[in-house]
């Protein structure tokens, strides 16, 4: 068996060291406990690098064959859980390289020609994150679809729209849901944008300055599906903007999720009673038998804090680093991994809680958000949501808006005293407040009339909302259906 310098970690980088690393330092500096998650990307990157080295005649064809054979076995050992990860070997890169060398000898030791762990790890994270981005994009689509299909059933379901959490004007429940579709659509755009800057190849930067070997970086980029190269070697090994951008995208998305979750919690409370959730998404209380708690929504809201925290951690990690690579960068992984996991799990469960699930056998959908239109309508009525409509009615009769506003304030006061809705005030009493109030004021005062009238583009009128639903459906349709 060939001498393998990686067998003894104290000698992994050079014979310069006169004593082995202390056990404490070994544990403190090792990342293999978490960065083994990059193994697949690491092997893909190594294969592309080795093939390029052989094509450029930096290593002989036989070495490439050995490396390919060895890495195939390493990949298989990892997949089947038989790979022996060693803390002494610090990280995923050295673990894989050591095992490769154990399997194929000198060829394994030639793999690292013209490469450093600095450009290697930067390549691995980008490759890995690109895969995760491609898995998260469809989850965002799924959540938008769930909201959209629920909205399609509720273009005429009136609820109070709020400002300051006080009843403001009637809106349709569909319109309210579509606000979230807009948010998640922007998130999807941001994600696509993050992908473009993530998908560039650092490999070839070597430790920091480039390398003297005749590497073909473009070939490696093509082989790994990168859209381009990192153009400055110092930047290539030290840039983590793509991680920051991803965490920023994830934080904004989680803020949107959190707002929706907060509304679900509010809507499900007895005081609103606008919706109900299927039992499968609720938990009970160990002491209060009547309780059904919207834990999933609360947790989604809570987990936004964690993702925002990761963004802060990553920003802070980068802010003081001089060029180029510093060991600090090893700290990029855990926040990034947890951001991906938390976001993916949250998007998946929110989509399900809103839209329910489809039974594979029967095709029946169940478990989605249950809407209580009567409670929504009653809340809009109680809150005098159509007061603005009465003012608008007076404006149409020639009153300046400010005067109309004043007249309606008196009408609301009167209705409050009587304990009735605006539409229930006798016409004569309304006319006593202002003679211009006509018999047609009634129509403006109904919730449906109010809804219909807000027909500006982007407004809540059912026709406008149906157009928006159509637009979103086309946008989200699978490519083939377009
Ligand atoms: N485990 C390291 C990381 O995650 C790999 C790069 C180490 N490079 C070095 N020069 N020590 O960043």
118 lines ligand 1 (CB under 6 A): yes
Cα 204 to ligand 1 centre (Å): 16
Which of 191, 198, 193 has the alpha carbon at shortest distance from 344? 191
Residue 70, token pair as written in the block: 């060895």
> How far does the centroid of ligand 1 lie from the alpha carbon of residue 434, in Å?
78
365 Cβ neighbours under 8 A, 6+ residues apart: 355, 356, 357, 358, 359
- Ligand 1 pocket test, pick from 21, 29, 86, 91 with the greatest ligand atom count within 8 Å of Cβ, gives 91
Any ligand 1 atom below 6 A from CB of 238: no
Indicate the top mutation candidate among 45, 121, 323 to test ligand 1's pocket, ranked by most ligand atoms within 8 A of CB: 121
Q: 237 CB under 6 A from ligand 1?
A: no
Percent of the chain with pLDDT over 90: 88
Does 91 sit in the ligand 1 pocket, CB within 6 Å? Answer: yes
Which listed residue (14, 22, 164, 212) is catalytic?
164
Q: Is 285 a catalytic residue?
A: yes
CB of 391 closer than 6 angstroms to any ligand 1 atom: no
CA distance 197 to 187: 16
Q: What is the pLDDT of residue 11?
A: 52
Residue 173 has pLDDT above 90, yes or no: yes
Read off the DSSP letter of residue 91.
Answer: S
Of 460, 209, 212, the C-alpha closest to 325 is: 209
Distance 72 CA to ligand 1 centre (A): 24
Active site residue 154: no
- What's the 207 CA to ligand 1 centre distance in angstroms? 10
Given the residues 10, 269, 285, 366, the one annotated as active site: 285
Q: Give the distance (Å) from ligand 1 centre to CA of residue 118.
A: 6
Q: Give the model's confidence band at 9: pLDDT under 50 very low, under 70 low, under 90 confident, else very high.
A: low
Angle formed at CA 416 by CA 388 and CA 264, multiple of 5 degrees: 65
pLDDT tens column, 314-370 = 999 999 999 999 999 999 999 999 999 999 999 999 999 999 999 999 999 898 999
Buried b vs exposed e over 141-179: b needs ≥16 C-beta within 10 Å? bbbbbbbbbbbbebbebbbbbbeeeebbbbbbbbbbbbe
- By mean pLDDT, which of 176-185, 250-259, 379-388 is the weakest? 379-388
**Ligand 1 pocket: which of 330, 332, 337 to mutate (most atoms <8 Å of CB)?**
330
Give the pLDDT confidence of 54-96 residue by residue, as tens digits: 999 999 999 999 999 999 999 999 999 999 999 999 999 999 9
Task: Using the predicted structure, report yes or no on whether residue 479 has a pLDDT greater than 70.
Answer: no
Confidence at 6, pLDDT banded by 50, 70, 90: confident
C-alpha 316 to ligand 1 mean position (Å)? 18
Q: 121: CA distance to ligand 1 center in Å?
A: 7
All domains of the chain, ordered by start, with CATH? 14-113 (1.10.275.10), 119-156+164-370 (1.20.200.10), 379-470 (1.10.40.30)
Strand partners of residue 166 = 163
Any ligand 1 atom below 6 A from CB of 329: yes
Determine if the pTM surpasses 0.85: yes
Model confidence band, residue 10 (pLDDT cutoffs 50, 70, 90) = very low
Structure-token pair, residue 252: 């904004």
Which of 32, 27, 109, 36 has the alpha carbon at shortest distance from 67? Answer: 109
Q: What is the mean pLDDT of the chain?
A: 95
Residue 432 has what pLDDT?
94
- pLDDT over 50 at 255, yes or no: yes
In short, whether 120's Cβ falls inside 6 Å of ligand 1 is: no
Cβ burial, residue 361 (10 Å; 0-12/13-18/19+)? exposed
Q: In this structure, what are the phi and psi dihedrals at residue 31, rounded to the nearest 5 degrees?
A: -125, 0
In short, whether 121's Cβ falls inside 6 Å of ligand 1 is yes
Phi, psi for 140 (deg, rounded to 5): -65, -40
User: How would you write 341-397 as a 3-class SS string?
Assistant: HHHHHHHHHHHHHHHCEECCCCCCEECCCEECHHHHHHHHHHCCCCHHHHHHHHHHC
In angstroms and rounded to an integer, the radius of gyration of the C-alpha atoms of the chain is 31
Asked whether the beta carbons of 124 and 38 are under 8 A apart, the reply is yes
Residues 191-205: tens digit of each pLDDT: 999 999 999 999 999
pLDDT of residue 289: 85
Please indicate whether residue 95, judged by its CB atom, sits closer than 6 Å to ligand 1.
no
Closest listed residue to residue 302, CA positions, set 349, 355, 351, 261: 261
Q: What would the two tokens of residue 80 be? A: 């089947």
Ligand 1 binding pocket mutation candidate from 6, 203, 327, 331 (most atoms within 8 A of CB): 327
Strands 228-229 and 166-172: unpaired
Of all protein residues, the one whose alpha carbon is nearest to atom 12 of ligand 1 is 330
For range 281-287, the mean pLDDT = 89
Indicate if ligand 1 lies below 6 Å from the C-beta of 243: no
- pLDDT tens for each residue of 122-155: 999 999 999 999 999 999 999 999 999 999 999 9
């Amino acid at each position: 068996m060939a001498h393998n310098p990686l067998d003894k970690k104290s000698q992994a980088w050079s014979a310069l060291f006169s004593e082995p690393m202390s056990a404490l330092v070994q544990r403190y500096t090792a990342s293999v406990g978490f960065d083994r998650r990059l193994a697949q990307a690491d092997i893909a990157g190594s294969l592309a690098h080795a093939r390029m080295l052989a094509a450029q005649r930096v290593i002989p064809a036989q070495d490439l064959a050995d490396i390919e054979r060895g890495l195939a076995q390493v990949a298989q050992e990892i997949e089947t859980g038989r790979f022996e990860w060693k803390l002494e070997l610090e990280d995923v890169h050295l673990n894989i390289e050591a095992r490769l060398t154990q399997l194929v000898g000198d060829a394994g030791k030639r793999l690292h020609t013209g490469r450093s762990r600095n450009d290697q790890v930067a390549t691995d994270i980008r490759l890995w994150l690109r895969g995760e981005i491609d898995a998260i994009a469809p989850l965002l689509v799924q959540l938008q679809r769930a909201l959209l299909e629920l909205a399609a059933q509720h273009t005429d379901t009136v609820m109070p729209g709020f400002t300051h959490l006080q009843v403001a004007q009637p809106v349709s429940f569909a319109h309210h849901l579509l606000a979230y579709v807009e948010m998640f659509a922007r998130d999807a755009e941001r994600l696509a944008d993050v992908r473009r800057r993530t998908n560039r190849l650092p490999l070839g930067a070597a430790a920091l300055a480039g390398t003297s070997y005749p590497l073909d970086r473009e070939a490696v980029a093509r082989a790994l599906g990168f859209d381009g190269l990192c153009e400055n070697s110092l930047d290539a090994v030290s840039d983590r903007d793509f991680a920051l951008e991803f965490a920023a995208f994830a934080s904004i998305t989680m803020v949107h999720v959190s707002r929706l979750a907060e509304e679900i919690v509010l809507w499900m409370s007895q005081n609103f009673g606008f919706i109900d959730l299927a039992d499968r998404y609720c938990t009970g209380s160990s002491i209060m038998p009547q309780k059904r708690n919207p834990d999933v929504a609360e947790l989604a809201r809570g987990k936004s804090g964690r993702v925002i925290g990761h963004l802060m951690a990553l920003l802070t990690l980068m802010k003081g680093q001089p060029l180029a690579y510093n060991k600090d960068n090893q700290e990029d992984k855990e926040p990034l991994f947890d951001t991906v996991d938390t976001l993916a799990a949250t998007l998946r469960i929110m989509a399900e809680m809103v839209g329910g699930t489809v039974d594979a056998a029967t095709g029946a959908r169940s478990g989605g958000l249950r809407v209580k239109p009567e409670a929504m309508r009653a809340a809009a009525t109680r809150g005098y949501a159509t007061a603005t409509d009465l003012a608008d009615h007076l404006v149409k009769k020639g009153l300046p808006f400010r005067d109309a506003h004043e007249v309606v304030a008196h009408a609301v006061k009167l209705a409050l005293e009587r304990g009735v809705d605006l539409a229930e005030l006798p016409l004569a009493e309304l006319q006593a407040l202002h003679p211009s109030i006509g018999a047609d004021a009634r129509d403006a005062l109904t919730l449906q009339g109010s809804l219909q009238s807000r027909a500006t583009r982007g407004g809540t009128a059912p026709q406008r909302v149906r157009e928006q639903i159509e637009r979103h459906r086309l946008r989200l349709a699978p490519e083939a259906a377009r």
